[in-house]
Amino acid sequence: MPRFVQTHGDRWGDLLWTGERTKIASRRFLDALAGFSGWHDFEVEVVARKGIAREGYRGFAVHGTGPDSDVWNHTSGQNCWFAVSAPVEEALRECGATELDITRLA
């Protein structure tokens, strides 16, 4: 099982950025995405800096390749981020997702 150790900061939001395309997401975040296309989740061990296991997180990978999916990869220069459809944005806002910066593309 993949392991993610938080090495910077003490804030635990609904989306943890790993510096790679794969992210770590809370159960609340993933529940909001239920029924939408372009992503999948997987088991991951999440550990705080002091070695304490954090429950309630799973790996989050985006495999959508464009706006024909509800969630899709969108890369800009060195940044790896993802885009979502308007219904996904609404679902994430409604669930109260934290540590999530949403910018409209158009």
Rounded CA gap, 97 and 28, in Å? 7
Rounded CA gap, 64 and 81, in Å? 12
What's the pTM value of the predicted model, to 2 decimals?
0.85
Residue ranges per structural domain of the chain? 3-95
What pLDDT score was predicted for residue 74?
A: 79
Residues 6+ apart with CB under 8 A from 11: 99
What pLDDT score was predicted for residue 104?
A: 64
pLDDT tens digits for range 21-80: 678 999 999 999 999 999 999 999 999 878 888 999 999 999 998 889 999 887 765 556
CA 39 to chain CA centroid, nearest Å: 10
Rounded CA gap, 22 and 24, in Å? 7
